[in-house]
């Protein structure tokens, strides 16, 4: 009898909610369309696919021909559809009720749009926590896929990872397939012949002499590696890698291409397993703070040099996905805002909860903007903006059904400090009850935008690999033999980066951060009422009262000084303007266009200036009661992506300065829609 290995081949397709249309068009052109067209020509090549819910709907609307091919392949039995949460959430960090809602929404969508309800599920970023098991099984999911690394962390030997195992949580049973890391790195980066040769070698290695059943070679990874990652379009399609691989697999007597569902239906579990909370190896590095990540990478490098990494890598374990919420205050803040609105929605009577409310909640749970690794994620303003847009829209809907108090005070983000919420149904400001007396969130409900949505610059572990000042800006490394480099192994500068661009911020990028002669002022919260929040400070130089108030579409900040002096009082306002350094944003001063938000601007004796933004569809007008020395400059951060290290504008930083020659000063922000 010919020994065979069952190839279980699957791909995962996802784009973040809020991604740019041109990015989606490029993904369609370089990946989704050619991949589906190629696979369609080989009906005997069975494969699994997961398209996240938002992307699936987008492709049906904009590229129906692609979806016609997919549907035809589903109907002829070539494709197995995999489920997940509809908006690609990390299931472990959303409430149980939302896990069920997300999974069921997507399974129903697949059934309605493609005629198949899934038995298996893709776990976002392969983040495993046993708490997700009950929700999956309640929704009819019978098996999931995670990395073989998850299994190695239990002490299980690699040679036993050639089938599925069974786990349980709270009496709910679920089967789990381990994805081969070797295959993840070989496909599609090594030559097709090498990949096929490796699969054929598994036919002998994975033979069970007791039951004469072939075991599985398990692959499930991002479809974007087949055309979107650097060099892959030419390699996979123009040079024919994908067709060579498919033809070689189908011609091999040692490889049998099967669906996960068919293998699952005919094979027995290989035993019980309890996996630790983890994700894939790279993720466990990205979740660590910079210094810890560098130490972890050093240990990995040392173990590879010593030759024992592959045998013992499971015992070199980094962080877990939830560490992103403690690493980045901005991520934690979005997450806790989402949880708060989820709870408010769940408390509404059934007859007041609507599908649009549920859809907006699920959109706030999309994973991409909450973390950062190889891809921009949290660092990309348009992804965070999509989260806030849905948060603010949902909050307005909830307020309409059940109005909130004008002022609320509570520790919302679990950092030990109370936050103060002040809202008038047009605007909302949220402040921490700390010494800064500054705004962390400034929402305009008519624009569904948070002007406080920016990012503090902090040190990242990969900064050590950045080439500064344009030196040696393009390098590749760790090529797969005669194949191509994985994006994980590339060292490329997308932009020219200087040492100053990597300096961490000394403070968070908030609105109305005050200083005297360059020293930050320390305030104390004193009171609040239906329209205002009050702070006060007293030091050796000056006693100041600071009041925030909302009146219609005006946010006003009034300062009262006890005495005049020659000291220089400055306030810093960081505004998230969606056009960033693009052509859609401009300063307007005395009816003149003063240029984009990405440039330096200095003005004297300023009373009023407008920041107009086409992407926002609105403008914000800043005015002062006393003439100010005014400066504006872009706030950039440096992050990494699959295309290299890049500078991204997060906000425009405004600074206004006065000599304290007045007893009272008011700064006002007015927001208008175009």
Q: Is 417 exposed, middle or buried (0-12, 13-18, 19+ CB in 10 A)?
A: exposed
> Looking at the DSSP assignment, which residues form a beta bridge with residue 657?
570, 629
Phi, psi of 344, deg, nearest 5: -65, -40
Question: Does 482 have pLDDT greater than 90?
Answer: no
Average pLDDT over residues 369-386: 94
Percent of the chain with pLDDT over 90: 86
**Helix axis angle, 241-251 to 192-205, nearest 10°:** 30
- Which phi and psi (to 5°) does residue 556 adopt? -120, 140
Residue 621 CA to residue 222 CA, distance in Å, equals 44
Percent of the chain with pLDDT over 70: 95
Q: What is the pLDDT of residue 317?
A: 87
61, 147, 337, 426, 450 from 360: Cα distances, Å: 19, 31, 13, 19, 16
Model confidence pLDDT, tens digit, residues 419-431: 999 999 999 999 9
Contact between 244 and 42 (Cβ < 8 Å): no
**pLDDT attached to residue 374:** 85
**Mean pLDDT, the chain, integer:** 93
Between 467 and 608, residue with greater pLDDT: 608
CA distance 391 to 501: 31
Residue 17's pLDDT is what?
A: 92
CA angle 588, 591, 595 (to 5 degrees): 35
Chain position carrying tokens 């949880």: 339
Domains of the chain by start residue, with CATH: 5-280 (3.20.110.20), 416-673 (2.70.98.10)
Provide mean pLDDT across the span 236-244: 97
SS3 annotation, 381-442? HHHHHHHHHHHHHHHHHHHHHCCCCCEEEECCCCCCCCEEEEECCCEEEEEECCCCCCEEEE
Measured in Å, how far apart are the chain's first and last C-alpha atoms?
Answer: 74
How far is the CA of 472 from the CAs of 460, 485, 491, 496, 649, in angstroms? 20, 18, 10, 10, 24
Place of tokens 């505004």: 575
Please tell me the predicted confidence (pLDDT) of residue 101: 98
Cis peptide before 188 (omega within 30 of 0): yes
Res. 234: pLDDT tops 90: yes
Instruction: List, for residues 120-154, the tens digit of each pLDDT value.
Output: 999 999 999 999 999 999 999 999 999 999 999 99
- Residue 476 confidence (pLDDT): 47
Across 230-245, average pLDDT:
96
Measure the CA–CA gap between 624 and 662, rounded to whole angstroms: 13
Number of C-beta neighbours around residue 270 at 10 A: 18
**For residues 306 and 540, which has the higher predicted lDDT (pLDDT)?**
306
With 70 as the cut, is the pLDDT of residue 520 above it?
yes
Q: Around 160, how many Cα atoms within 13 Å sit in the side-chain half-sphere?
A: 12
Contacts of 342 (CB under 8 A, 6+ apart): 94, 95, 97, 98, 361
Lowest mean per-residue pLDDT among 441-445, 610-614, 659-663: 659-663
Position of tokens 């490098």?
301
Please give the sequence-ordered ranges of beta strands (E in DSSP) within 130-213, or none if there are none.
Answer: 143-147, 165-169, 172-179
Give Cβ neighbours of residue 183 (< 8 Å, ≥ 6 apart): 195, 198, 217, 218, 219
- Rounded CA Rg of the chain: 27
DSSP assignments along 653-667, one per residue:
EEEEEEES-SSEEEE
Kindly tell me if the per-residue pLDDT of 12 is higher than 70: yes
Query: 161, 201 in Cβ contact below 8 A?
Result: no
> In the prediction, which pLDDT does 481 show?
62
Give the residue numbers annotated as catalytic, written as ranges. 125, 222
Residue 32 has pLDDT above 50, yes or no: yes
Residue 286 zone, left/alpha/beta (φ > 0; ψ -120 to 50; rest) = alpha
The mean pLDDT value for 90-110 works out to 98
**Statement: residue 538 has pLDDT above 80:** no
What's the pLDDT score for residue 642? 75
Q: How many CB atoms lie within 10 A of CB 643?
A: 14
- Looking at residue 489, its pLDDT comes to 54
What value, to the nearest 5°, has the Cα angle with vertex 129 and ends 311 and 114? 105
Question: Over 80: is that where the pLDDT of 212 sits?
Answer: no
Phi first, then psi: give them for residue 479, nearest 5 degrees: -70, 145
Distance between CA atoms of 467 and 493, rounded to whole angstroms?
7
Name the pairing type of β-strands 439-444 and 427-432: antiparallel
pTM: 0.94
CA atoms within 13 A on the CB side of 377: 20
């Amino acid at each position: 009898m010919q020994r065979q290995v069952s190839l279980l081949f699957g791909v995962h397709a996802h784009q973040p909610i809020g991604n740019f249309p041109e990015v989606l068009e490029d993904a369609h052109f370089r990946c989704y369309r050619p991949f589906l067209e190629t696979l369609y020509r080989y009906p005997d090549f069975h494969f699994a696919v997961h398209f996240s819910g938002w992307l699936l709907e987008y492709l049906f609307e904009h590229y129906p021909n692609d979806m016609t091919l997919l549907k035809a392949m589903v109907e002829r039995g070539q494709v197995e559809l995999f489920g997940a949460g509809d908006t690609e959430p990390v299931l472990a960090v959303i409430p149980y009720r939302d896990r069920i809602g997300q999974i069921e929404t997507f399974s129903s969508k697949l059934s309605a749009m493609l005629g198949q309800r899934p038995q298996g599920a893709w776990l976002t970023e392969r983040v495993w926590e046993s708490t997700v098991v009950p929700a999956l099984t309640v929704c009819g999911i019978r098996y999931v896929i995670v990395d073989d690394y998850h299994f190695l962390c239990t002490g299980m030997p690699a040679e036993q990872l050639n089938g599925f195992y069974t786990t349980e949580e709270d009496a709910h049973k679920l089967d789990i397939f381990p994805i081969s890391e070797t295959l993840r790195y070989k496909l599609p980066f090594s030559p097709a012949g090498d990949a096929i040769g490796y699969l054929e070698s598994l036919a002998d290695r994975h033979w069970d002499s007791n039951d004469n059943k072939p075991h599985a070679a398990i692959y499930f990874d991002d479809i974007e590696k087949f055309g979107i990652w650097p060099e892959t379009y030419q390699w996979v399609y123009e040079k024919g890698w994908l067709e060579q691989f498919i033809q070689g697999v189908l011609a091999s007597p040692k490889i049998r291409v099967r669906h996960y569902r068919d293998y699952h239906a005919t094979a027995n579990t290989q035993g019980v397993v309890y996996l630790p909370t983890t994700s894939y190896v790279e993720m466990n590095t990205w979740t660590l703070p910079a210094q810890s990540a560098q130490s972890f990478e050093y240990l990995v490098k040392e173990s590879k040099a010593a030759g024992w990494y592959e045998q013992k890598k499971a015992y070199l374990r980094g962080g877990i996905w939830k560490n992103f919420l403690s690493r980045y205050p901005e991520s934690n803040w979005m997450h806790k805002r989402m949880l708060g609105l989820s709870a408010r929605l769940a408390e509404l009577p059934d007859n007041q909860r609507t599908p649009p409310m549920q859809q907006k909640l699920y959109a706030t749970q999309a994973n991409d903007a909450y973390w950062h690794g190889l891809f921009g994620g949290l660092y990309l303003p348009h992804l965070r903006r999509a989260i806030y847009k849905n948060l603010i829209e949902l909050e307005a809907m909830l307020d309409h059904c059940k109005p909130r108090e004008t002022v609320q005070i509570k520790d919302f983000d679990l950092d030990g400090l109370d936050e103060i919420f002040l809202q008038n149904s047009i605007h909302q400001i949220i402040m921490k009850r700390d010494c800064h007396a500054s705004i962390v969130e400034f929402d305009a409900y008519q624009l569904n935008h948070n002007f406080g949505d920016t990012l503090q610059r902090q040190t990242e572990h990969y900064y050590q690999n950045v080439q500064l000042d344009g030196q040696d800006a393009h390098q590749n490394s760790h090529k797969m033999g005669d194949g191509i480099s994985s994006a994980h192994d590339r060292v490329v500068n997308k932009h020219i980066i200087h040492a100053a661009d990597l300096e961490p911020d000394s403070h968070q990028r908030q609105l109305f951060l005050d200083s005297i002669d360059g020293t930050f002022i320390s305030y104390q919260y004193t009171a609040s009422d239906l329209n205002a929040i009050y702070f006060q400070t007293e030091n050796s130089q000056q006693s100041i009262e600071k009041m925030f108030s909302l009146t219609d579409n005006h946010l006003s900040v009034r300062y009262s000084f006890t005495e005049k002096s020659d000291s220089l009082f400055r306030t810093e306002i960081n505004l998230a303007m969606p056009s960033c350094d693009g052509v859609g944003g401009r300063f307007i001063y005395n009816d003149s266009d003063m240029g984009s938000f990405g440039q330096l601007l200095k003005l004297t004796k300023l009373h009023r200036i407008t920041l107009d933004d086409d992407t926002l569809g609105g403008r914000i007008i800043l005015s002062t009661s006393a003439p100010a020395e005014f400066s504006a400059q872009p706030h950039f951060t440096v992050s990494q992506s699959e295309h290299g290290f890049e500078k991204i504008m997060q906000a425009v930083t405004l600074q206004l300065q006065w000599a304290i020659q007045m007893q009272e000063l008011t700064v006002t922000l007015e927001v208008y829609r175009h």
